[in-house]
Amino acid sequence: MSHTRRNFFLLAGGALAAAQDPKNMVVRSARPEDLEMPLSGFADYLTPADHFFVRTHVYVPAVNMSEWRLKVEGSVQTPLTLAMDDLRKMPAVELIAVTECAGNSRSFFNPHVPGLQWGWGGVANARWRGVRLAEVLQRAGVRPSAVEVLLDGADEPIGTMQDFRRSIPLRKALHPDTILAYEMNGEPVPLKHGFPLRLVAPGWASDSWVKWVTSLNVLDKPWDGFWMKNAYRKPDHAVAPGTSLTPEQMVPVTSLRVKTVIASPAANWARPGEPVRIAGVSWSGDAGPVTSVEVSTDAGRTWKAARLYPGQKTKYGWRQWDFSWTPEREAYYTIMARARDAAGDTQPLAQEWNPGGYGWNVAPSLGIRVQAQAPEAANPPVSPAHPEPPPGFRASCLQCHGTDVIEQQHLTRAQWDREITKMTGWGARVNAQDRELLLNYLSGAFGAK
Ligand SMILES: Nc1nc2c(c(=O)[nH]1)N[C@H]1C(S)=C(S)[C@@H](COP(=O)(O)O)O[C@H]1N2
Ligand SMILES: [Mo]
Protein backbone atom coordinates (compact mmCIF):
# COMPACT_ATOMS: atom_id res chain seq x y z
CA MET A 1 0.00 0.00 0.00
CA SER A 2 2.67 2.51 1.03
CA HIS A 3 4.61 1.61 -2.10
CA THR A 4 1.57 2.38 -4.23
CA ARG A 5 1.01 5.62 -2.40
CA ARG A 6 4.61 6.70 -2.90
CA ASN A 7 4.31 6.03 -6.65
CA PHE A 8 1.20 8.01 -6.81
CA PHE A 9 2.86 11.04 -5.19
CA LEU A 10 5.87 10.83 -7.46
CA LEU A 11 3.96 10.35 -10.67
CA ALA A 12 1.11 12.73 -10.31
CA GLY A 13 3.13 15.82 -9.38
CA GLY A 14 1.14 18.63 -10.97
CA ALA A 15 -2.28 17.48 -9.98
CA LEU A 16 -1.17 17.32 -6.36
CA ALA A 17 -1.01 21.08 -6.08
CA ALA A 18 -4.77 21.01 -5.63
CA ALA A 19 -4.64 18.22 -3.02
CA GLN A 20 -7.21 18.37 -0.30
CA ASP A 21 -6.81 19.53 3.21
CA PRO A 22 -9.30 17.37 5.14
CA LYS A 23 -9.45 20.21 7.72
CA ASN A 24 -11.95 21.94 5.47
CA MET A 25 -14.09 18.84 5.23
CA VAL A 26 -16.33 16.57 7.26
CA VAL A 27 -14.65 13.15 7.36
CA ARG A 28 -17.39 10.56 6.83
CA SER A 29 -14.80 7.82 6.42
CA ALA A 30 -11.04 8.08 6.81
CA ARG A 31 -10.27 4.71 5.19
CA PRO A 32 -11.25 4.65 2.36
CA GLU A 33 -11.58 8.38 2.17
CA ASP A 34 -15.08 9.84 2.01
CA LEU A 35 -15.18 13.57 2.65
CA GLU A 36 -18.17 15.87 2.82
CA MET A 37 -18.22 19.59 2.06
CA PRO A 38 -19.35 21.71 5.04
CA LEU A 39 -22.31 24.09 4.54
CA SER A 40 -19.90 27.02 4.15
CA GLY A 41 -18.85 25.48 0.81
CA PHE A 42 -22.15 26.46 -0.81
CA ALA A 43 -20.95 30.09 -0.77
CA ASP A 44 -18.77 29.24 -3.79
CA TYR A 45 -20.33 29.02 -7.22
CA LEU A 46 -17.59 26.71 -8.48
CA THR A 47 -16.42 24.30 -5.79
CA PRO A 48 -12.63 24.51 -5.32
CA ALA A 49 -10.69 21.23 -5.05
CA ASP A 50 -10.13 21.65 -1.30
CA HIS A 51 -13.90 21.75 -0.72
CA PHE A 52 -14.91 19.15 -3.29
CA PHE A 53 -16.54 16.09 -1.70
CA VAL A 54 -14.73 12.79 -2.13
CA ARG A 55 -16.34 9.38 -2.52
CA THR A 56 -14.02 6.46 -3.07
CA HIS A 57 -15.09 2.87 -2.66
CA VAL A 58 -11.50 1.70 -2.42
CA TYR A 59 -8.33 3.80 -2.74
CA VAL A 60 -6.93 6.37 -5.10
CA PRO A 61 -4.95 4.45 -7.75
CA ALA A 62 -1.38 5.10 -8.85
CA VAL A 63 -1.30 6.78 -12.25
CA ASN A 64 1.75 6.75 -14.49
CA MET A 65 1.10 9.08 -17.42
CA SER A 66 3.79 7.59 -19.67
CA GLU A 67 1.97 4.26 -19.52
CA TRP A 68 -1.57 5.58 -19.23
CA ARG A 69 -3.96 4.65 -22.08
CA LEU A 70 -7.68 4.67 -22.71
CA LYS A 71 -8.96 1.48 -24.32
CA VAL A 72 -12.12 1.46 -26.42
CA GLU A 73 -13.37 -2.03 -27.20
CA GLY A 74 -16.38 -4.32 -27.40
CA SER A 75 -19.09 -3.79 -30.00
CA VAL A 76 -17.09 -1.39 -32.20
CA GLN A 77 -15.68 -1.55 -35.73
CA THR A 78 -12.14 -0.50 -34.70
CA PRO A 79 -10.96 -1.00 -31.12
CA LEU A 80 -8.79 1.95 -30.03
CA THR A 81 -5.96 2.59 -27.61
CA LEU A 82 -5.61 6.31 -26.98
CA ALA A 83 -2.98 8.30 -25.10
CA MET A 84 -3.85 11.57 -23.35
CA ASP A 85 -2.30 13.52 -26.25
CA ASP A 86 -4.71 11.85 -28.66
CA LEU A 87 -7.65 12.96 -26.52
CA ARG A 88 -6.28 16.48 -26.12
CA LYS A 89 -6.02 16.79 -29.93
CA MET A 90 -9.72 16.08 -30.33
CA PRO A 91 -12.23 18.97 -30.18
CA ALA A 92 -12.59 20.14 -26.57
CA VAL A 93 -15.89 21.01 -24.93
CA GLU A 94 -16.52 22.76 -21.65
CA LEU A 95 -19.54 22.86 -19.38
CA ILE A 96 -20.51 23.59 -15.78
CA ALA A 97 -22.28 20.75 -14.00
CA VAL A 98 -23.29 19.66 -10.52
CA THR A 99 -22.10 16.26 -9.39
CA GLU A 100 -24.08 14.82 -6.50
CA CYS A 101 -23.73 11.44 -4.83
CA ALA A 102 -26.98 9.50 -5.20
CA GLY A 103 -26.93 9.01 -1.43
CA ASN A 104 -26.32 12.66 -0.54
CA SER A 105 -28.48 13.62 2.50
CA ARG A 106 -29.07 9.94 3.32
CA SER A 107 -28.71 10.68 7.05
CA PHE A 108 -32.04 12.56 7.01
CA PHE A 109 -34.14 9.53 6.05
CA ASN A 110 -36.52 8.18 8.64
CA PRO A 111 -36.52 5.24 9.17
CA HIS A 112 -32.79 5.41 9.07
CA VAL A 113 -31.02 3.62 6.18
CA PRO A 114 -27.57 2.04 6.12
CA GLY A 115 -24.78 3.61 4.07
CA LEU A 116 -22.52 6.63 4.37
CA GLN A 117 -24.41 9.14 6.49
CA TRP A 118 -24.12 12.21 4.26
CA GLY A 119 -25.59 15.51 5.39
CA TRP A 120 -25.89 18.19 2.68
CA GLY A 121 -22.39 18.27 1.28
CA GLY A 122 -22.07 15.16 -0.92
CA VAL A 123 -22.35 17.51 -3.88
CA ALA A 124 -20.21 19.99 -5.85
CA ASN A 125 -20.43 22.30 -8.86
CA ALA A 126 -17.51 22.56 -11.28
CA ARG A 127 -16.43 23.58 -14.77
CA TRP A 128 -15.43 20.49 -16.71
CA ARG A 129 -13.38 20.36 -19.90
CA GLY A 130 -12.72 17.36 -22.03
CA VAL A 131 -13.74 15.45 -25.10
CA ARG A 132 -17.23 14.26 -25.96
CA LEU A 133 -17.67 10.58 -25.18
CA ALA A 134 -19.68 10.41 -28.45
CA GLU A 135 -16.64 11.69 -30.38
CA VAL A 136 -14.42 8.92 -28.98
CA LEU A 137 -17.08 6.27 -29.60
CA GLN A 138 -17.66 7.48 -33.16
CA ARG A 139 -13.92 7.12 -33.88
CA ALA A 140 -14.17 3.49 -32.87
CA GLY A 141 -17.42 3.08 -34.83
CA VAL A 142 -20.20 1.86 -32.58
CA ARG A 143 -21.99 -1.18 -34.02
CA PRO A 144 -25.78 -0.80 -34.52
CA SER A 145 -26.39 -3.60 -32.00
CA ALA A 146 -24.83 -1.60 -29.13
CA VAL A 147 -27.01 -0.63 -26.16
CA GLU A 148 -24.66 0.39 -23.34
CA VAL A 149 -21.15 1.55 -22.55
CA LEU A 150 -19.36 -0.01 -19.58
CA LEU A 151 -16.72 2.19 -17.93
CA ASP A 152 -13.88 0.97 -15.77
CA GLY A 153 -11.42 3.01 -13.73
CA ALA A 154 -7.88 2.25 -12.60
CA ASP A 155 -8.87 1.76 -8.95
CA GLU A 156 -8.31 -1.82 -7.80
CA PRO A 157 -10.70 -3.74 -5.55
CA ILE A 158 -9.54 -4.75 -2.08
CA GLY A 159 -9.39 -8.46 -1.29
CA THR A 160 -12.58 -10.20 -2.40
CA MET A 161 -14.44 -6.94 -3.19
CA GLN A 162 -15.83 -6.40 -6.68
CA ASP A 163 -14.11 -3.92 -9.00
CA PHE A 164 -16.04 -0.63 -9.28
CA ARG A 165 -17.48 -0.43 -12.82
CA ARG A 166 -20.60 1.24 -14.12
CA SER A 167 -22.51 1.17 -17.39
CA ILE A 168 -24.61 3.90 -18.97
CA PRO A 169 -27.20 3.52 -21.72
CA LEU A 170 -25.99 4.36 -25.24
CA ARG A 171 -28.42 7.30 -25.36
CA LYS A 172 -26.62 8.95 -22.43
CA ALA A 173 -23.20 7.97 -23.77
CA LEU A 174 -23.90 9.61 -27.14
CA HIS A 175 -25.47 12.73 -25.64
CA PRO A 176 -23.37 15.75 -26.72
CA ASP A 177 -23.07 16.93 -23.09
CA THR A 178 -21.59 13.66 -21.81
CA ILE A 179 -17.83 14.12 -21.70
CA LEU A 180 -14.60 12.45 -20.70
CA ALA A 181 -13.10 15.29 -18.67
CA TYR A 182 -9.39 15.94 -18.22
CA GLU A 183 -9.86 19.32 -16.54
CA MET A 184 -11.86 20.48 -13.53
CA ASN A 185 -12.06 24.22 -12.84
CA GLY A 186 -9.21 24.94 -15.27
CA GLU A 187 -6.72 22.45 -13.74
CA PRO A 188 -6.04 18.80 -14.52
CA VAL A 189 -8.75 16.77 -12.76
CA PRO A 190 -7.34 16.30 -9.21
CA LEU A 191 -6.25 12.77 -8.27
CA LYS A 192 -9.05 12.19 -5.79
CA HIS A 193 -11.57 13.19 -8.45
CA GLY A 194 -10.36 10.89 -11.20
CA PHE A 195 -7.04 12.10 -12.63
CA PRO A 196 -6.33 12.00 -15.49
CA LEU A 197 -9.80 11.27 -16.97
CA ARG A 198 -13.30 10.99 -15.51
CA LEU A 199 -16.75 10.68 -16.95
CA VAL A 200 -18.99 13.73 -16.65
CA ALA A 201 -22.62 12.66 -17.01
CA PRO A 202 -24.41 15.99 -16.50
CA GLY A 203 -27.77 15.78 -14.79
CA TRP A 204 -27.11 12.29 -13.45
CA ALA A 205 -26.13 11.21 -9.94
CA SER A 206 -22.38 10.85 -9.57
CA ASP A 207 -22.22 7.07 -9.20
CA SER A 208 -22.23 7.13 -13.03
CA TRP A 209 -19.35 9.65 -13.10
CA VAL A 210 -16.61 6.99 -13.23
CA LYS A 211 -13.21 8.27 -12.10
CA TRP A 212 -9.72 7.26 -13.35
CA VAL A 213 -11.34 5.93 -16.57
CA THR A 214 -9.08 3.57 -18.54
CA SER A 215 -11.57 1.43 -20.42
CA LEU A 216 -14.76 1.87 -22.43
CA ASN A 217 -16.49 -1.35 -23.35
CA VAL A 218 -19.39 -1.05 -25.80
CA LEU A 219 -21.99 -3.69 -25.00
CA ASP A 220 -24.80 -5.35 -26.97
CA LYS A 221 -26.63 -6.28 -23.76
CA PRO A 222 -27.19 -4.30 -20.57
CA TRP A 223 -24.35 -5.06 -18.15
CA ASP A 224 -25.47 -7.25 -15.28
CA GLY A 225 -22.27 -6.94 -13.21
CA PHE A 226 -22.16 -6.36 -9.48
CA TRP A 227 -22.24 -2.55 -9.31
CA MET A 228 -25.27 -2.25 -11.59
CA LYS A 229 -27.17 -5.20 -10.11
CA ASN A 230 -26.61 -4.59 -6.41
CA ALA A 231 -26.04 -0.90 -5.78
CA TYR A 232 -27.56 2.45 -6.75
CA ARG A 233 -31.04 1.12 -7.25
CA LYS A 234 -34.37 2.43 -6.03
CA PRO A 235 -38.00 1.41 -6.50
CA ASP A 236 -39.72 3.09 -9.48
CA HIS A 237 -42.76 3.80 -7.27
CA ALA A 238 -43.24 4.98 -3.69
CA VAL A 239 -42.97 2.29 -1.01
CA ALA A 240 -43.96 2.32 2.65
CA PRO A 241 -41.11 3.54 4.88
CA GLY A 242 -38.98 0.63 6.10
CA THR A 243 -39.93 -1.73 3.26
CA SER A 244 -37.24 -4.29 2.46
CA LEU A 245 -36.75 -4.78 -1.30
CA THR A 246 -34.42 -6.98 -3.34
CA PRO A 247 -32.28 -5.30 -6.04
CA GLU A 248 -34.45 -6.97 -8.75
CA GLN A 249 -37.44 -5.04 -7.44
CA MET A 250 -35.64 -1.76 -8.11
CA VAL A 251 -34.25 0.20 -11.08
CA PRO A 252 -30.92 2.05 -11.45
CA VAL A 253 -30.65 5.61 -10.15
CA THR A 254 -30.13 7.97 -13.11
CA SER A 255 -31.19 11.63 -13.19
CA LEU A 256 -30.93 13.95 -10.21
CA ARG A 257 -34.11 15.67 -9.07
CA VAL A 258 -34.70 19.31 -8.28
CA LYS A 259 -33.17 20.04 -4.87
CA THR A 260 -32.30 22.94 -2.57
CA VAL A 261 -29.85 23.44 0.28
CA ILE A 262 -30.31 26.27 2.77
CA ALA A 263 -26.72 27.17 3.70
CA SER A 264 -27.39 30.38 5.62
CA PRO A 265 -28.19 31.45 8.33
CA ALA A 266 -25.77 29.15 10.15
CA ALA A 267 -26.96 30.33 13.61
CA ASN A 268 -30.27 29.01 14.96
CA TRP A 269 -31.32 32.31 16.54
CA ALA A 270 -31.63 35.99 15.56
CA ARG A 271 -32.68 39.29 17.13
CA PRO A 272 -36.03 40.90 16.31
CA GLY A 273 -35.77 43.83 13.91
CA GLU A 274 -32.38 42.73 12.53
CA PRO A 275 -32.11 41.41 8.96
CA VAL A 276 -31.33 37.72 8.50
CA ARG A 277 -29.74 36.60 5.24
CA ILE A 278 -31.34 33.39 4.03
CA ALA A 279 -29.21 31.90 1.24
CA GLY A 280 -28.44 28.65 -0.48
CA VAL A 281 -28.18 26.80 -3.75
CA SER A 282 -30.58 24.82 -5.93
CA TRP A 283 -30.05 22.43 -8.82
CA SER A 284 -31.85 19.83 -10.89
CA GLY A 285 -31.05 16.93 -13.23
CA ASP A 286 -32.12 16.06 -16.77
CA ALA A 287 -35.13 18.32 -16.30
CA GLY A 288 -32.98 21.31 -15.31
CA PRO A 289 -32.03 24.07 -15.07
CA VAL A 290 -33.56 25.68 -12.01
CA THR A 291 -35.76 28.59 -13.05
CA SER A 292 -37.00 29.93 -9.69
CA VAL A 293 -36.57 29.55 -5.94
CA GLU A 294 -39.10 30.51 -3.27
CA VAL A 295 -38.63 31.03 0.45
CA SER A 296 -41.15 30.74 3.27
CA THR A 297 -40.58 32.05 6.79
CA ASP A 298 -43.90 30.75 8.13
CA ALA A 299 -43.53 27.00 7.74
CA GLY A 300 -44.83 26.95 4.17
CA ARG A 301 -48.02 29.00 4.58
CA THR A 302 -46.79 31.75 2.27
CA TRP A 303 -43.91 31.82 -0.23
CA LYS A 304 -41.89 34.67 -1.73
CA ALA A 305 -39.43 34.64 -4.64
CA ALA A 306 -35.75 34.51 -3.68
CA ARG A 307 -33.19 36.46 -5.74
CA LEU A 308 -31.28 34.19 -8.12
CA TYR A 309 -27.68 35.31 -8.56
CA PRO A 310 -27.13 36.75 -12.04
CA GLY A 311 -24.75 35.17 -14.54
CA GLN A 312 -25.36 31.56 -13.47
CA LYS A 313 -27.77 30.44 -16.18
CA THR A 314 -26.32 27.13 -17.29
CA LYS A 315 -27.98 23.88 -18.22
CA TYR A 316 -26.47 21.71 -15.48
CA GLY A 317 -24.84 23.99 -12.90
CA TRP A 318 -26.42 25.01 -9.62
CA ARG A 319 -27.91 28.41 -8.91
CA GLN A 320 -27.13 30.42 -5.84
CA TRP A 321 -29.91 32.51 -4.33
CA ASP A 322 -30.63 34.70 -1.35
CA PHE A 323 -33.47 36.38 0.45
CA SER A 324 -33.35 39.10 3.09
CA TRP A 325 -35.79 38.70 5.98
CA THR A 326 -36.31 40.89 9.02
CA PRO A 327 -38.34 39.10 11.69
CA GLU A 328 -40.41 41.67 13.56
CA ARG A 329 -41.17 39.90 16.81
CA GLU A 330 -39.95 37.22 19.15
CA ALA A 331 -41.13 33.80 18.02
CA TYR A 332 -39.92 30.49 16.66
CA TYR A 333 -39.90 30.62 12.86
CA THR A 334 -39.64 27.78 10.37
CA ILE A 335 -37.77 28.80 7.24
CA MET A 336 -38.30 26.73 4.10
CA ALA A 337 -37.08 26.91 0.51
CA ARG A 338 -38.03 25.16 -2.70
CA ALA A 339 -36.93 25.36 -6.31
CA ARG A 340 -38.65 24.78 -9.62
CA ASP A 341 -36.90 23.59 -12.76
CA ALA A 342 -37.39 24.19 -16.49
CA ALA A 343 -39.69 21.16 -16.76
CA GLY A 344 -41.94 22.64 -14.06
CA ASP A 345 -40.94 20.06 -11.45
CA THR A 346 -40.81 21.32 -7.90
CA GLN A 347 -39.72 19.84 -4.58
CA PRO A 348 -42.01 17.67 -2.47
CA LEU A 349 -43.03 18.80 1.02
CA ALA A 350 -42.70 15.28 2.41
CA GLN A 351 -39.86 12.96 1.46
CA GLU A 352 -40.70 9.61 -0.04
CA TRP A 353 -38.58 6.85 1.44
CA ASN A 354 -36.46 4.21 -0.33
CA PRO A 355 -34.22 1.47 1.09
CA GLY A 356 -30.93 2.84 -0.31
CA GLY A 357 -31.54 6.36 0.92
CA TYR A 358 -31.17 7.83 -2.58
CA GLY A 359 -32.51 11.04 -4.10
CA TRP A 360 -33.32 13.08 -0.97
CA ASN A 361 -34.91 16.30 -2.27
CA VAL A 362 -37.70 17.42 0.07
CA ALA A 363 -38.02 21.22 0.47
CA PRO A 364 -35.59 21.89 3.34
CA SER A 365 -36.68 23.59 6.54
CA LEU A 366 -34.74 25.29 9.31
CA GLY A 367 -35.95 26.40 12.73
CA ILE A 368 -34.84 29.77 14.02
CA ARG A 369 -35.52 31.32 17.42
CA VAL A 370 -36.01 35.07 17.31
CA GLN A 371 -35.34 36.62 20.71
CA ALA A 372 -33.58 39.67 22.15
CA GLN A 373 -31.23 37.61 24.35
CA ALA A 374 -28.58 35.26 23.00
CA PRO A 375 -29.52 31.67 23.98
CA GLU A 376 -27.28 29.76 26.41
CA ALA A 377 -24.78 27.39 24.82
CA ALA A 378 -25.99 23.80 24.81
CA ASN A 379 -23.81 21.08 26.39
CA PRO A 380 -21.80 19.21 23.76
CA PRO A 381 -23.05 15.64 23.29
CA VAL A 382 -21.00 12.96 25.04
CA SER A 383 -19.95 10.13 22.73
CA PRO A 384 -20.69 6.75 24.29
CA ALA A 385 -17.96 4.21 25.04
CA HIS A 386 -18.26 1.09 22.90
CA PRO A 387 -17.92 -2.46 24.23
CA GLU A 388 -15.05 -4.67 23.06
CA PRO A 389 -15.60 -6.10 19.56
CA PRO A 390 -15.88 -9.90 19.25
CA PRO A 391 -13.23 -12.07 17.57
CA GLY A 392 -13.59 -11.97 13.82
CA PHE A 393 -14.72 -8.34 13.78
CA ARG A 394 -11.36 -7.11 12.54
CA ALA A 395 -10.96 -9.79 9.87
CA SER A 396 -14.57 -9.55 8.65
CA CYS A 397 -15.17 -5.80 8.77
CA LEU A 398 -11.92 -3.85 8.92
CA GLN A 399 -10.19 -5.26 5.84
CA CYS A 400 -11.85 -2.79 3.52
CA HIS A 401 -12.88 0.14 5.74
CA GLY A 402 -12.36 1.74 9.16
CA THR A 403 -14.66 1.78 12.21
CA ASP A 404 -16.00 5.30 11.56
CA VAL A 405 -18.42 4.10 8.88
CA ILE A 406 -19.78 1.51 11.31
CA GLU A 407 -20.20 3.97 14.19
CA GLN A 408 -22.38 6.31 12.11
CA GLN A 409 -24.97 3.66 11.17
CA HIS A 410 -27.41 3.27 14.14
CA LEU A 411 -29.32 0.31 12.71
CA THR A 412 -31.89 -2.06 14.15
CA ARG A 413 -30.92 -5.71 14.67
CA ALA A 414 -32.83 -6.69 11.52
CA GLN A 415 -31.01 -4.02 9.53
CA TRP A 416 -27.62 -5.14 10.87
CA ASP A 417 -28.53 -8.69 9.94
CA ARG A 418 -29.25 -7.57 6.36
CA GLU A 419 -26.10 -5.45 6.40
CA ILE A 420 -23.91 -8.46 7.27
CA THR A 421 -25.54 -10.40 4.44
CA LYS A 422 -25.00 -7.47 2.08
CA MET A 423 -21.35 -7.08 3.07
CA THR A 424 -20.81 -10.82 2.60
CA GLY A 425 -22.13 -10.32 -0.93
CA TRP A 426 -19.64 -7.46 -1.32
CA GLY A 427 -16.78 -9.77 -0.43
CA ALA A 428 -16.56 -9.75 3.39
CA ARG A 429 -15.68 -13.12 4.98
CA VAL A 430 -17.79 -13.93 8.03
CA ASN A 431 -17.40 -17.32 9.75
CA ALA A 432 -20.70 -18.97 10.56
CA GLN A 433 -19.76 -19.36 14.25
CA ASP A 434 -18.80 -15.66 14.56
CA ARG A 435 -21.88 -14.27 12.87
CA GLU A 436 -24.17 -14.26 15.89
CA LEU A 437 -21.52 -12.58 18.09
CA LEU A 438 -20.91 -10.00 15.39
CA LEU A 439 -24.61 -9.28 15.09
CA ASN A 440 -24.95 -8.95 18.88
CA TYR A 441 -22.04 -6.57 19.00
CA LEU A 442 -23.15 -4.39 16.07
CA SER A 443 -26.77 -4.09 17.14
CA GLY A 444 -25.74 -3.54 20.78
CA ALA A 445 -23.06 -0.92 20.22
CA PHE A 446 -24.45 0.71 17.07
CA GLY A 447 -28.16 0.12 17.44
CA ALA A 448 -31.06 2.30 16.36
CA LYS A 449 -31.26 5.62 18.21
N1 LIG B 1 -13.46 4.53 -10.46
C2 LIG B 1 -14.35 5.01 -9.56
N3 LIG B 1 -15.21 5.94 -9.95
C4 LIG B 1 -16.12 6.45 -9.07
C5 LIG B 1 -16.21 5.97 -7.75
C6 LIG B 1 -15.28 4.97 -7.34
O7 LIG B 1 -15.24 4.52 -6.19
N8 LIG B 1 -14.37 4.52 -8.29
N9 LIG B 1 -17.20 6.45 -6.91
C10 LIG B 1 -18.38 7.01 -7.57
C11 LIG B 1 -19.31 7.67 -6.67
S12 LIG B 1 -20.43 6.71 -5.85
C13 LIG B 1 -19.33 9.04 -6.54
S14 LIG B 1 -20.48 9.78 -5.54
C15 LIG B 1 -18.39 9.89 -7.29
C16 LIG B 1 -17.64 10.82 -6.36
O17 LIG B 1 -16.81 11.68 -7.08
P18 LIG B 1 -15.82 12.66 -6.33
O19 LIG B 1 -14.99 11.86 -5.36
O20 LIG B 1 -14.99 13.32 -7.37
O21 LIG B 1 -16.66 13.67 -5.60
O22 LIG B 1 -17.44 9.15 -8.04
C23 LIG B 1 -17.97 7.99 -8.66
N24 LIG B 1 -16.97 7.41 -9.52
MO1 LIG C 1 -21.95 8.12 -4.70
Question: Hey, how many other C-beta atoms are within 10 angstroms of the C-beta on 85?
Answer: 7
Residues in the chain, overall count: 449
Q: What integer pLDDT is reported at residue 379 of this predicted model? A: 77
H or E segment and range at residue 11: helix 2-11
Instruction: Establish whether residue 214 lines the binding site of ligand 1, counting it when its CB lies within 6 angstroms of any ligand atom.
Output: no
CATH architecture of 259-370: Sandwich (2.60)
CA 289 to chain centre: 19
- Judged against a pLDDT cut of 90, whether residue 186 lies above it is answered with yes
Q: Where in the chain is the domain with CATH 1.10.760.10?
A: 393-445
pLDDT (average), residues 168-197: 98
pLDDT digit string, tens, across residues 65-79 = 999 999 999 999 999
- Judged against a pLDDT cut of 90, whether residue 444 lies above it is answered with no
pLDDT (average), residues 101-128: 97
Q: Where in the chain is the domain with CATH 3.90.420.10?
A: 5-231
**Beta bridge partner(s), residue 218:** 74, 149
Cα 183 to ligand 1 centre (Å): 16
Beta strands in 101-175, from DSSP E residues, in sequence order = 123-132, 148-153, 165-169
- Judged against a pLDDT cut of 70, whether residue 52 lies above it is answered with yes
Q: What integer pLDDT is reported at residue 384 of this predicted model? A: 66
pLDDT tier for residue 410 given thresholds of 50, 70 and 90: confident
pLDDT (average), residues 228-234: 94
- Is 198:212 a contact under the CB 8 Å cutoff? yes
- Is 159:168 a contact under the CB 8 Å cutoff? no
Q: What integer pLDDT is reported at residue 20 of this predicted model? A: 55
Cα 57 to ligand 2 centre (Å): 9
Instruction: Establish whether residue 57 lines the binding site of ligand 1, counting it when its CB lies within 6 angstroms of any ligand atom.
Output: yes
Rounded to whole angstroms, how far apart are CA atoms 357 and 84?
Answer: 37
Greater confidence (387 vs 36) lies with: 36
Burial of 372 (0-12, 13-18, 19+ CB in 10 A): exposed
Mean pLDDT estimate for the chain: 92
Q: What integer pLDDT is reported at residue 3 of this predicted model? A: 34
Q: What integer pLDDT is reported at residue 12 of this predicted model? A: 40
- Residue of the CA atom closest to atom 6 of ligand 1: 56
Question: Hey, how many other C-beta atoms are within 10 angstroms of the C-beta on 148?
Answer: 22
pLDDT digit string, tens, across residues 298-316 = 999 999 999 999 999 999 9
Torsion of Cα atoms, 108 then 112 then 114 then 115, to 10°: 0
Cα 102 to ligand 1 centre (Å): 11
- Is 431:393 a contact under the CB 8 Å cutoff? no
The single-letter code of the amino acid at 314 is: T
Cα diameter, the chain: 73
pLDDT digit string, tens, across residues 1-24 = 333 333 333 334 334 434 556 678
Confirm whether pTM is higher than 0.85. Answer: yes
Rounded to whole angstroms, how far apart are CA atoms 425 and 65?
Answer: 34
Burial of 103 (0-12, 13-18, 19+ CB in 10 A): buried
Rounded to whole angstroms, how far apart are CA atoms 51 and 197?
Answer: 20
- Judged against a pLDDT cut of 60, whether residue 258 lies above it is answered with yes
Rounded to whole angstroms, how far apart are CA atoms 405 and 210?
Answer: 22
Cα 164 to ligand 1 centre (Å): 9
Instruction: Establish whether residue 33 lines the binding site of ligand 1, counting it when its CB lies within 6 angstroms of any ligand atom.
Output: no
Rounded to whole angstroms, how far apart are CA atoms 357 and 341?
Answer: 23
pLDDT (average), residues 44-58: 96
- Is 116:106 a contact under the CB 8 Å cutoff? yes
Rounded to whole angstroms, how far apart are CA atoms 114 and 412?
Answer: 10
- Is 306:323 a contact under the CB 8 Å cutoff? yes
Q: Which atom of ligand 1 lies at the shortest distance from residue 193's CA?
A: 20
Q: What integer pLDDT is reported at residue 96 of this predicted model? A: 98
Pocket test for ligand 1, best of 26, 33, 55 (most atoms within 8 A of CB): 55
Q: What integer pLDDT is reported at residue 392 of this predicted model? A: 85
Backbone angles phi, psi at 391, to 5 degrees: -60, 145
Sheet of 54-55: strand order equals 26-29, 34-36, 54-55
Closest C-alpha to 59, from 84, 87, 34, 89: 34
Answer positive or negative: Cα dihedral of 72, 78, 81, 84: negative
Cα 25 to ligand 2 centre (Å): 17
Rounded to whole angstroms, how far apart are CA atoms 118 and 115?
Answer: 9
Q: What integer pLDDT is reported at residue 90 of this predicted model? A: 98
Q: Where in the chain is the domain with CATH 2.60.40.650?
A: 259-370
pLDDT digit string, tens, across residues 324-382 = 999 999 999 999 999 999 999 999 999 999 999 999 999 999 999 999 998 888 777 77
- Is 202:315 a contact under the CB 8 Å cutoff? yes
Instruction: Establish whether residue 227 lines the binding site of ligand 1, counting it when its CB lies within 6 angstroms of any ligand atom.
Output: no
pLDDT (average), residues 101-108: 98
Rounded to whole angstroms, how far apart are CA atoms 334 and 366?
Answer: 6
Instruction: Establish whether residue 121 lines the binding site of ligand 1, counting it when its CB lies within 6 angstroms of any ligand atom.
Output: no
pLDDT (average), residues 157-166: 89
Q: What integer pLDDT is reported at residue 107 of this predicted model? A: 96
Q: What integer pLDDT is reported at residue 40 of this predicted model? A: 95
Instruction: Establish whether residue 207 lines the binding site of ligand 1, counting it when its CB lies within 6 angstroms of any ligand atom.
Output: yes
Rounded to whole angstroms, how far apart are CA atoms 223 and 305?
Answer: 45
CA distances from 390 to 160, 208, 211, 386, 437 (A): 22, 37, 36, 12, 6
Q: What integer pLDDT is reported at residue 343 of this predicted model? A: 96
Q: What integer pLDDT is reported at residue 366 of this predicted model? A: 96
Rounded to whole angstroms, how far apart are CA atoms 430 and 419?
Answer: 12
Ligand closest in space to the Cα of 36: 1
DSSP 9: H
Is the domain defined by 393-445 classed in CATH 1.10.10.10?
A: no
Please state at what angle helix 432-445 crosses helix 413-425, rounded to 10 degrees: 130
DSSP 329: S
Cα 157 to ligand 1 centre (Å): 14
Please state which CATH number belongs to domain 5-231: 3.90.420.10
208 Ramachandran zone, left/alpha/beta (phi>0; psi -120 to 50): alpha
H or E segment and range at residue 395: helix 393-397
Please state whether the peptide bond connecting residue 196 to the residue before it is cis, i.e. omega within 30 degrees of 0.
yes
**R_g of the chain, CA atoms, integer Å:** 23
Of the chain, the percentage scoring pLDDT greater than 70 comes to 94
pLDDT tier for residue 195 given thresholds of 50, 70 and 90: very high
